[in-house]
Each structure stands twice: as structure tokens, then as C-alpha cells.
């Protein structure tokens, strides 16, 4: 195990169980524990992101970096600093014991003086990441291109009024998709960083939609040309940084893809805090994606109910996550996607060890939510009540309606004959809420002490 930046953590974080007093142990997460016949690690496919955890020093719009991150200090040779950043990151992934990581091109490789130099930087850093991956066994969940940080993208990338910016963004995505394939990444993500508008006064909506569709078609074509086997994922977000982001939420992205015949090429990367920013719950966004065969991967985090912005905190609510996890399990679970911690430390969490506390807490929350959701699946209560609620649709009337066998006139005739007389039925919401809470509170699933359940 590499030593260096996280020497206060000597070895891999062990399972300690709920009775453990050691904060640097997992209380619930056990990679090998079987849940519905599958290892916990294979259900969750956890990833750590490079941007918040290794490429940010904790700056916000009012102040500079606060974090203790020696690889980000000013005055360092950019490529040497880039290698140190990857050394620190892989030491962390390995000690945390997670199977995956995610990155933007700019997280691992600095922009050069021109495109050729930027490309050379990226290739050097991708090679270096490949070495670290081989050494630690940590894999790439997804790569992505940063098409929002540089001033050239201030008016968008694919949706920019200037086709030269479109070309630049396209070339950048090509390089990162090629790199993701080279690193055997499981997926490639497109978050529409500044694809949206600050004001409608200078914006041609129809034109920008056409540009975005063309861009995504080019990406899908390139994926097939190079034989990349992973999923292409679009990450919805309703606003921030622009006032209105085109990829507003799961349903809007889905509609866009269907309009442009791209629905078989892309899946969704659903982020919890983006869901709540769009006025939906995370539960809703997952349920929508599952119901429409669009679920790809998940960015795990949470917002703050007092604030209307993307606070990207680490998830800590089993109550909320269990419901999303339940929909996910009902939909067959993740395939090539995973749970990526697109989450950042608070600015006062300056110690490097805070990265461990944050991720341990987030991972345990996901693990506990998985256990609760698996219990709900096994018990089948929600499924049975849901099925009973729609049972009428399996009868003669329901089948006739859905198969197109009746007209409005026929339905009116049936009503007139007094054959149809619907009665209100309880939706049972409070009962269902109690059943869910009962599962969340159930004590018998919890490992009682520091002993591993296996
Ligand atoms: C921004 C965000 C991004 C994407 C990747 O809100 O979530 O970090 O996940 O570009
Ligand atoms: Co994200």
C-alpha cells in the first residue's frame, strides 16, 4: 500500500460494526456481505471523484482555498504537481477500499499554452493514472471533459453561438473519450456545464437545441467508431452555473433524446442534489429513469433544504436514500454505473483526514440504505400493495382499454348501461409510510458488534 499523503491512516479502513468507537472504521459497509445474493461492493460500485476531493482546495466565491493539499500549492511544476495529486488520490482510494474513481480532463491534467500542449499534458497524465490503476486495482467508473471552466466556454460549449467553440469542445470530448477507453472506463459522462442561458434576450433556443443534438450525435458516432463499450451518460441539472440549464431533469433529457432519435445511445447519470434543485426528489428522478429504461449511474450527494444551490454535501440520510435504492433494486440495480461521490467537504474541514470521515459516512449511509431497500424488496409489501392497486387493469375493461379495443363511444355506452360504477379506494399513503419506517427502524438487520457478519 502506497504511503505518503495519508500517513495517519496506516492501512485499509476496516469494518468495525455499529459498536466500534473508532471513527476510521466502517460501521455498516462490508464489501463481501451478500445482499439479495450479490456482494455489497457489486451493488454499490462506489467511486471517489477527483474534482472535489483532490483538485479543489476549498475555494468559494468569497474566499480562497483552506484545505491542506500540498499537491495544489502554487509554484509547483504543473506536471509534477499533477503526478503528486494522482499519487495522493490513489493512496486514498486504496486505503478507503473503493473500487472506482471518476475524473474530468482538467482535474488530472492542466490546460497547456495551446491545444497540442493540452493534449500532451492529458496523455501524460492518463498514462500515469493507468500505472496507478494497475498498481492498486482501482478502476475508472467514468471520465468526462470539463467544458465549463475555461473562459472560451462562458456562452456554452455545444450550444455556443460560435461554431469554433463547438469544434473545440468536440475535440476535447474526443480526447477524453479516447482516454476513457484507454483506461477501460465503464462509462463516459456528459454534464452540460454551461449548456443553457443566462438571458433569453440573446438566446436562440431552437438553434441551440439543434447544436446540442448534433454534438451528442457526434459523440455517439465516435464511441462506436473507437469501439468503446461503456455507456454514454447525460447528467441532468436545472440551473447553476446558468440560470436555465437545458438538461433540466431526467424527463426533460429523456424527451430531448427521443426528439432527436438518441434515446438508445444515452442513459442518465442522476445526481441527488441536482434532483432536489429541479424541484423533484432524488427518489422521483431514480424512479423516472428506471421506469423509462434510462438509468445509467448515480452521483451521490445531498443538498441543504435551506439553500437553493448545489451544496454537494456527503449523503447522510438513510430515510431518503432507502427509497431511491428501493426503486433501483426493483429496476434490477446498477449494471455499468455506480455511486460516485460527487460531494465535497465543507470549507472548514481542512484536514486531509476529513476526506476519510466524509467518505466513510457516505459509504455507510449507502450501505445501510441498501440493506433497508433489500429488506423492502424481500418483504414485497410495497410491491404487493402497488400491484393490488392496479389489479383492475388486468380485467376485461382494463385490457380492452389498453389494447385499443374500445372507443370513447363504447366507454360511454358501458357507462350508460350502468355497468361501470367506480368507488373511491384508499391510497394508503400513511400506512405505506409506516411500513417503510418499520423497515428503516428494524433492528435485526444491524450487525450488533464489531464482528463481521460473514
Ligand atoms: C456539477 C456536476 C459535475 C458533473 C461532472 O454540478 O455534478 O461535477 O458530475 O461534470
Ligand atoms: Co455530478
Which of residues 352, 379, 406 is at a domain's end? 379
Q: Is the Cβ atom of 271 under 6 angstroms away from ligand 1?
A: yes
- What sign results for the dihedral spanned by CA atoms 154, 104, 265, 287? negative
- Chosen domain end from 350, 379, 408: 379
- Cβ 194 under 6 angstroms from ligand 1: no
Contact 147, 172 (CB under 8 A): yes
State which of 185, 237, 340 you would mutate to test the pocket of ligand 1, scoring each by most atoms of that ligand within 8 A of its C-beta: 237
326: nearest Cα among 362, 295, 372, 289: 372
Backbone dihedral angles phi then psi of residue 98, each to the nearest 5 degrees:
-100, 150
332, three cell numbers = 434490477
Place of cell 427502524: 441
223/241 same-domain check:
yes
Atom of ligand 1 nearest to the CA of 340: 9
Tell me: do 362 and 397 sit in the same domain: no
Our answer on whether the CB atom of 342 is closer than 6 Å to any ligand 1 atom is yes
Number of domains composing the chain? 2
User: Is 275 contained in some domain?
Assistant: yes
Cα(282)–Cα(330) distance, rounded to whole angstroms? 16
Burial of residue 264 (CB within 10 Å: 0-12, 13-18, 19+) is exposed
C-alpha 49/C-alpha 79 separation (Å) is: 20
Grid coordinates belonging to 336: 455499468
Handedness of CA 258, 261, 265, 266 (dihedral sign): negative
Crossing angle of the two packed helices 163-182 and 205-226, in degrees rounded to 10: 30
Grid cell of 5 as nine digits: 499523503
The closest of 363, 414, 378, 379 to 31, measured between CA atoms, is 363
Other Cβ atoms less than 10 A from the Cβ of 207: the count is 11
d(CA 54, CA 409): 65
Ligand found nearest the CA of 237: 1
Helices (H) and strands (E) in the chain — how many of each? Answer: 16, 12
User: How many Cβ atoms sit within 10 Å of the Cβ of residue 70?
Assistant: 13
Is 235 contained in some domain?
yes
pLDDT for residue 452: 43
98 and 63 co-located in one domain: yes
- Is 6 a member of any domain? no
What pLDDT is stored for residue 381 in this prediction?
Answer: 86
Whole-number Å distance, alpha carbon 193 to ligand 1 midpoint, is 8
Is 191 touching ligand 1 by the criterion CB < 6 Å? yes
The last residue of a domain, from among 379, 401, 416: 379
Is residue 65 assigned to a domain? Answer: yes
Same domain flag for 424 and 329: no
* Residue found under cell 463481521: 452
CA atoms within 13 A on the CB side of 311: 13
| Whether residues 217 and 364 fall in one domain | yes
CA atoms of 23 and 450, how far apart (whole Å): 13
pTM of the model: 0.96
User: Over the chain (454 residues), what is each successive 10-residue block's mean pLDDT?
Assistant: 83 97 98 98 99 98 97 96 98 98 98 98 98 98 98 98 98 99 99 98 98 99 98 98 98 98 98 98 98 98 93 97 98 98 98 98 98 96 95 97 97 95 96 95 59 42
Contact 177, 221 (CB under 8 A): no
Q: Does 222 lie in the same domain as 87?
A: yes
Question: What is the spatial distance between Cα 187 and Cα 180, in angstroms, rounded to a whole number?
Answer: 8
Residue 308: per-residue pLDDT: 86
Residues 6+ apart with CB under 8 A from 211: 158, 159, 160, 166
Give the distance (Å) from ligand 2 centre to CA of residue 184. Answer: 21
* 213 and 341 together in one domain: yes
Residues 317 and 408 in one domain: no
Kindly state if the Cβ of 107 falls inside 6 Å of ligand 1. no
252 and 191 belong to one structural domain: yes
Per-residue cell: 50: 477527483
Q: Which ligand is nearest to the CA of 52?
A: 1
In a domain, 452, yes or no: no
pLDDT on residue 2: 53
| CA of 205 relative to ligand 1 center, distance in Å | 23
> 373 CA to middle of ligand 1, Å?
27
Residue at 290 is within a domain: yes
> Which residue CA neighbors atom 4 of ligand 1 most closely?
191
Strand partners, 187: 142, 231
Nearest to 273 by CA among 237, 318, 319, 317: 237
Give which of 145, 146, 212 is closest to 179, Cα–Cα: 145
- Please state, in angstroms and rounded to a whole number, the distance separating the CA atoms of residues 159 and 141: 27
Among the bound ligands, the one closest to the CA of 271: 2
Q: Is 247 in the pocket of ligand 1 (CB under 6 A)?
A: no
Residues 370 and 392 in one domain: no
Query: Whose alpha carbon is nearest atom 5 of ligand 1?
Result: 191
Inter-residue contact 365 to 315 (CB < 8 Å): yes
Residue 10 is assigned to a structural domain of this protein = no
Residue 257: all three cell numbers together = 433524446
- Side-chain-facing half-sphere of 89: CA atoms under 13 Å: 34
- For residue 277, the number of C-alpha atoms closer than 13 Å in the C-beta half-sphere is 26
Indicate whether 390 and 261 sit together in one domain.
no
Is the previous residue joined to 241 through a cis bond, with omega within 30 degrees of 0? yes
196 in the same domain as 313: yes
What is the distance between the alpha carbons of residues 357 and 24, in angstroms, rounded to a whole number? 7
What pLDDT does 1 receive? 54
Catalytic residues: 104, 107
Cα–Cα distance list, 72 to 53, 87, 98, 350 (Å): 12, 13, 23, 14
The secondary element (H helix, E strand) that includes residue 191 is strand 187-191
Q: Does residue 9 form part of some domain?
A: no
By residue range, what is the domain housing residue 360? 34-379
Task: Kindly state if the Cβ of 237 falls inside 6 Å of ligand 1.
Answer: yes
Amino acid at each position: 500500500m502506497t504511503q505518503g499523503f495519508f500517513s495517519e491512516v496506516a492501512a485499509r479502513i476496516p469494518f468495525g460494526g455499529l459498536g466500534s468507537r473508532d471513527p476510521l472504521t466502517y460501521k455498516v459497509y462490508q464489501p463481501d456481505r451478500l445482499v439479495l445474493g450479490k456482494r455489497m461492493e457489486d451493488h454499490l460500485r462506489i467511486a471517489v471523484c477527483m474534482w472535489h476531493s483532490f483538485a479543489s482546495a476549498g475555494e468559494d466565491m468569497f474566499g480562497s482555498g483552506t484545505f491542506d493539499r500540498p499537491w495544489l500549492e502554487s509554484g509547483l511544476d504543473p506536471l509534477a504537481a499533477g503526478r503528486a495529486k494522482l499519487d495522493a488520490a490513489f493512496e486514498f482510494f486504496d486505503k478507503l477500499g473503493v473500487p472506482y474513481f471518476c475524473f474530468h480532463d482538467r482535474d488530472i491534467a492542466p490546460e497547456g499554452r495551446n491545444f497540442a500542449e493540452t493534449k500532451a499534458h492529458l496523455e501524460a497524465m492518463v498514462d500515469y493514472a493507468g500505472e496507478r490503476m494497475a498498481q492498486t486495482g482501482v478502476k475508472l467508473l467514468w471520465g468526462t471533459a470539463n467544458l465549463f471552466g475555461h473562459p472560451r466556454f462562458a456562452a456554452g460549449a455545444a450550444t455556443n453561438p460560435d461554431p469554433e467553440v463547438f469544434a473545440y469542445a468536440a475535440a476535447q470530448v474526443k480526447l477524453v473519450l479516447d482516454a476513457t477507453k484507454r483506461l477501460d472506463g465503464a462509462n463516459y459522462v456528459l454534464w452540460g456545464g454551461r449548456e443553457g442561458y443566462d438571458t433569453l434576450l440573446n438566446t436562440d433556443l431552437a438553434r441551440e437545441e439543434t447544436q446540442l443534438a448534433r454534438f451528442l450525435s457526434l459523440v455517439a458516432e465516435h464511441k462506436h467508431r473507437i469501439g468503446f463499450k461503456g455507456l454514454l451518460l447525460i447528467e441532468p441539472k436545472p440551473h447553476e452555473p446558468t440560470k436555465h440549464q437545458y438538461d433540466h431533469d431526467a424527463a426533460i433529457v429523456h424527451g430531448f433524446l427521443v426528439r432527436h432519435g438518441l434515446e438508445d445511445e444515452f442513459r442518465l447519470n442522476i445526481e441527488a442534489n441536482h434532483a432536489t434543485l429541479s424541484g423533484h426528489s432524488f427518489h422521483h428522478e431514480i424512479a423516472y429513469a428506471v421506469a423509462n429504461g434510462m438509468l445509467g449511474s448515480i452521483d451521490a450527494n445531498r443538498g441543504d433544504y435551506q439553500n437553493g444551490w448545489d451544496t454537494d454535501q456527503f449523503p447522510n440520510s438513510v430515510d431518503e436514500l432507502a427509497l431511491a435504492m428501493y426503486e433501483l433494486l426493483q429496476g434490477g440495480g446498477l449494471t455499468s454505473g455506480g455511486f460516485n461521490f460527487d460531494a465535497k467537504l465543507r470549507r472548514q474541514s481542512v484536514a486531509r483526514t476529513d476526506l476519510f470521515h466524509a467518505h466513510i459516512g457516505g459509504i455507510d449511509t449507502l450501505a445501510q440504505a441498501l440493506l433497508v431497500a433489500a429488506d423492502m424488496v424481500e418483504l414485497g409489501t410495497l410491491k404487493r400493495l402497488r400491484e393490488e392497486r392496479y389489479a383492475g387493469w388486468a380485467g376485461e375493461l382494463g385490457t380492452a382499454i389498453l389494447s385499443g379495443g374500445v372507443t370513447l363511444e363504447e366507454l360511454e355506452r358501458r357507462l350508460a348501461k350502468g355497468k361501470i360504477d367506480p368507488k373511491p379506494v384508499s391510497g394508503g399513503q400513511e400506512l405505506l409510510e409506516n411500513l417503510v419506517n418499520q423497515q428503516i427502524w428494524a433492528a435485526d438487520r444491524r450487525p450488533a458488534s464489531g464482528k463481521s457478519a460473514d
